[in-house]
Every structure is written in structure tokens, then in C-alpha cells.
């Protein structure tokens, strides 16, 4: 029998060699505008979708939201980072080497954790499809049978928050995050009590200021809203204000959570050691993907921190599926998981992820377990700015 050429033998022994990577920017309208702490208003969600193709024809998908005020990643910058730096580094590599590829991405460029995350998630989807296992199995296997679903309330007035919260409670949610740092503090304290009264003692409430409070406002808020039973207050102050967070933590009856300031494992260790935080918000876009997010979750658990997993506002079910697989596998998920695909007017997969009985089901199919709607991807492809 004739020997096969060396190149063909190599392809057979390494069928997951990466042959192509596409960076696809999308802009999807939201169902309604979302108000964030600091006064930002979102009407569209901007995401980078990464498509990874192996020599055997299998395809994996990943996503990262643009987050200029969190990771510094703009949509245009993420496309450039993938095309110029990450695609040349990944093409020709074996996708099965997830840890090695994550390290190469981490060291290739400083920052750019969003586009790194989109690549890393796409590689996990590809590897899961090849092995015929869900991403949760690649991450070590499920550690729980349900995840605590958290949903945010970010309307311009409390009446709308109340109406939305009641409707969501009827739909099964038992955990709500108030977006604060937008209105006068007295109004936001009153909103916390109004929601507690309307929803009852059994629901969980927390608040997120997205760095939108001054130190004085934050002190006033935690003292005033404490009896509304807030599980935690997330990122009241600027991301680099560790001294401010520490001073606030010393007087606050409400535990503090880091989000924008929790941009690396080292930063989280530092905040915890100084006594500034009781928990941490982990996102794939901050940690460069699933490998980085899982390591962060393991360290956070070892430090005794509560963990919240979250999508950036308006991530589609591609990014949401990655987060749900992570949510089922991290050692600790005390502060729940927040998906945001429900804010999109149109999702990017055939069967969007939905909340059920206060949880999100873990997609059971191989890889991320979602089928990308390529027609929707084409329709919402962002125009060049």
C-alpha cells in the first residue's frame, strides 16, 4: 500500500488544525433602551462574533461585547485585534490545545480581553463539537443541576422597574439587580424599598452602580437602603479607587462586589486581602475567555469570595451559552448568573436561551449547544464607521 504524503498524515492525526478565522462585527437593536450607572444609554448592542474553522470543516463560534468603559474594547478595535494579531497566531495550531492557545492569546497583546474571549469561546465550541461533548464537560463537568438566574432592572423611572419586576417574577425570576448611580440617591433608596415591598421578602435584590457614585453618595446609599435587604452593591466607585472601596466597606452594612475593578486575578486578590470586597463579578470579556474566567472563579472561591457571572448588556445567546456552561461548572455561584440576550430585538441563534423556574438550562448539544442563525448574522453585520 502506498504511503500517504506527510501532510495528509499530519491532517489525519491533527484534524482540528485551525485553517480559517473570521471576525464579524454586529450591531443589534435592543428591545428598549437600557440605562446604566454614570448615565450611559444603550439602544444597540455591539458584539464581535468570531468564527473558527478547522481543516476537517467543523466550525466553532464565539462572542464578545464591545465594552469601551469596562475593558476598553471597541468594536473596530476588536476586529483589528483578531485579524492582525490573533488569527495569524491561531491558524495552523491544534484547537485541542486549549490551554496553550489561551496562553498564546494572553501574551500576544496587552489587554484586548474581549477579542481574546471571542476566540477562546469559539475554540471551546469547536473542540466540544469535535469530541461530541458540551462545553461544560470541557470545563470539568457540571457542579450543579440549576443556576440562580439574575435579571436587571434599568428603567428611567421606578414605576417601570416595578412593572417589569412583577412581570419577571411571574415568569419565574427570583433575583433582581437594580441599576443605580443614575438618579438622585434618595430616589434610588426609595426604589429599593418600593421593589422590596412589591416583590416580597423572599426575592433576592442587589444593586449595580457601574462606577456612577461619588464616595458620599455610596455611603448614603448603603446606609439608607440597607433595610431593603440588598445582597450586595456592585462597583459604586471608579475602577481604580481601591482606597475608596476599602473605606466604604468598613462602614457599609451591604457587602460590596467588584466588577469594573475586577479586571485580573491579581486585582481581585489585592481587593480581597485589603478587605474591600465580599464578592466578584466575572465576565469572559474581562478574563480573556472561558479558560481565564474559570481560573478566576477558582481563585475567587479559594479566597472565600461570592461569585456572580454576567454578560455585558445585550450579549447574544452565543456569549450567553458560554456563560451558562461556565455557570454550571464554577465551584461557587452564590451571587447568580445574569444573561442579557433577552434585551436584543433579534438573537443570533435559532433557539435563544431562556430563563425557566429561576434558572437557565444548560444547552445539552455538543460545544456551546446553540445553532447560529447565519442569516441574522448577515442582517446585523455592522457597517464600517
369's CB contacts (< 8 A; 6+ apart) are: 134, 135, 321, 325, 362, 363
CB of 206 to Mg ion, least distance (A): 10
3-state helix, strand, coil in the chain (%, to 5): 40, 25, 35
**How many Å apart are CA 195 and CA 153, to the nearest integer?**
10
120 and 62 Cβ atoms separated by less than 8 Å = yes
Kindly state the cell numbers that stand for 233. 452593591
Least distance between Mg ion and beta carbon 309 (Å): 11
Count of residues in the chain = 385
Shortest distance (Å) from residue 205 CB to Mg ion: 15
Q: Is the dihedral of CA 127, 313, 292, 361 positive or negative?
A: negative
CA distance 318 to 230: 31
Task: Provide the minimum distance between the beta carbon of 313 and Mg ion in the complex, in angstroms, as a whole number.
Answer: 9
Question: Measured from the CB atom, is 73 or 259 closer to Mg ion?
Answer: 259
- Compare residues 316 and 338 and give the one whose CB is closer to Mg ion: 338
282 vs 344 by CB, closer to Mg ion: 282
Nearest distance from C-beta of residue 67 to Mg ion, angstroms: 11
Q: Which is nearer to Mg ion, 173 or 232 (CB)?
A: 232
Q: Report the DSSP beta bridge partners of residue 229.
A: none
Residue number with CB closer to Mg ion (236 or 367):
236
Phi then psi dihedrals of residue 119, to 5 deg: -65, -45
**383 burial class (0-12, 13-18, 19+ CB within 10 angstroms)?**
exposed
Please give the grid coordinates belonging to residue 52.
473558527
Q: Which is nearer to Mg ion, 199 or 257 (CB)?
A: 257
The least CB distance from residue 37 to Mg ion, in Å, is 8
Report the nearest approach of Mg ion to the CB of residue 249 (Å): 17
CB of 291 to Mg ion, least distance (A): 22
Which residues lie closer than 8 Å to 238 by C-beta, 6 or more apart?
211, 244, 260
Q: Which is nearer to Mg ion, 181 or 288 (CB)?
A: 181
Residue nearer to Mg ion on the CB measure, 124 or 263 = 263
Looking at beta carbons, which residue is closest to Mg ion? 259
Angle among Cα 230, 231, 236 to the nearest 5 degrees reads: 75
Beta bridge partners of 49: 24, 63
Task: Report, in Å, the least distance between residue 262 CB and Mg ion.
Answer: 9
Q: How far, in whole angstroms, is CA 236 from its chain's centroid?
A: 19
Q: Which residues in this chain contact Mg ion in the complex, by CB under 5 A? A: 208, 234, 259
Judged by beta carbon, residue 120 or residue 259, the one nearer Mg ion is 259
For the CA atoms of 310, 315, 319, 323, the dihedral, rounded to the nearest 10 degrees, stands at: 20
Q: If DSSP codes are grouped into helix, strand and coil, which group holds residue 377?
A: helix
Amino acid at each position: 500500500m502506498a504511503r500517504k504524503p506527510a501532510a495528509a498524515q499530519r491532517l489525519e492525526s491533527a484534524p482540528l488544525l485551525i485553517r480559517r478565522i473570521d471576525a464579524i462585527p454586529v450591531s443589534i437593536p435592543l428591545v428598549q433602551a437600557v440605562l446604566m450607572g454614570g448615565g450611559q444609554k444603550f439602544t444597540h448592542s455591539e458584539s464581535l462574533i468570531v468564527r473558527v474553522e478547522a481543516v476537517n470543516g467543523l466550525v466553532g463560534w464565539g462572542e464578545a461585547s464591545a465594552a469601551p468603559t469596562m475593558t476598553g474594547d471597541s468594536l473596530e478595535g476588536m476586529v483589528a485585534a483578531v485579524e492582525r494579531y490573533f488569527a495569524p497566531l491561531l491558524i495552523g495550531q491544534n484547537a485541542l490545545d486549549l490551554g496553550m492557545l489561551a496562553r498564546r492569546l494572553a501574551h500576544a497583546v496587552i489587554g484586548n480581553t474581549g477579542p481574546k474571549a471571542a476566540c477562546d469561546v469559539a475554540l471551546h465550541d469547536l473542540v466540544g463539537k469535535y469530541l461530541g461533548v458540551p462545553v461544560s464537560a470541557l470545563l470539568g463537568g457540571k457542579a450543579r443541576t440549576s443556576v440562580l438566574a439574575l435579571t436587571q432592572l434599568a428603567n428611567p423611572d421606578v414605576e417601570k422597574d416595578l412593572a417589569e419586576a412583577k412581570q419577571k417574577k411571574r415568569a419565574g425570576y427570583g433575583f433582581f439587580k437594580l441599576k443605580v448611580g443614575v438618579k438622585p440617591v434618595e430616589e434610588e433608596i426609595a426604589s429599593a424599598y418600593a421593589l422590596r415591598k412589591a416583590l416580597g421578602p423572599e426575592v433576592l435584590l442587589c444593586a449595580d452602580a457601574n462606577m456612577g457614585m461619588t464616595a458620599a453618595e455610596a455611603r448614603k446609599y448603603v446606609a439608607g437602603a440597607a433595610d431593603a435587604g440588598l445582597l450586595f452593591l456592585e462597583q459604586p466607585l471608579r475602577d481604580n479607587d481601591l482606597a475608596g472601596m476599602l473605606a466604604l466597606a468598613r462602614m457599609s452594612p451591604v457587602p460590596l462586589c467588584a466588577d469594573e475593578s475586577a479586571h485580573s486575578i491579581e486585582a481581585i486578590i489585592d481587593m480581597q486581602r485589603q478587605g474591600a470586597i465580599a464578592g466578584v463579578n466575572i465576565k469572559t470579556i474581562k478574563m480573556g475567555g472561558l479558560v481565564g474566567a474559570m481560573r478566576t472563579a477558582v481563585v475567587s472561591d479559594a479566597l472565600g469570595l461570592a461569585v456572580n457571572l454576567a454578560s455585558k448588556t445585550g450579549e447574544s445567546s452565543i456569549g450567553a451559552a458560554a456563560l451558562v456552561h461556565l455557570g454550571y461548572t464554577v465551584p461557587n455561584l452564590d451571587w447568580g448568573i445574569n444573561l442579557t440576550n433577552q434585551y436584543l430585538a433579534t438573537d443570533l441563534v435559532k433557539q435563544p436561551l431562556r430563563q425557566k423556574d429561576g434558572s437557565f438550562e444548560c444547552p445539552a448539544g455538543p460545544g456551546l449547544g446553540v445553532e447560529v442563525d447565519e442569516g441574522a448574522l448577515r442582517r446585523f453585520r455592522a457597517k464600517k464607521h
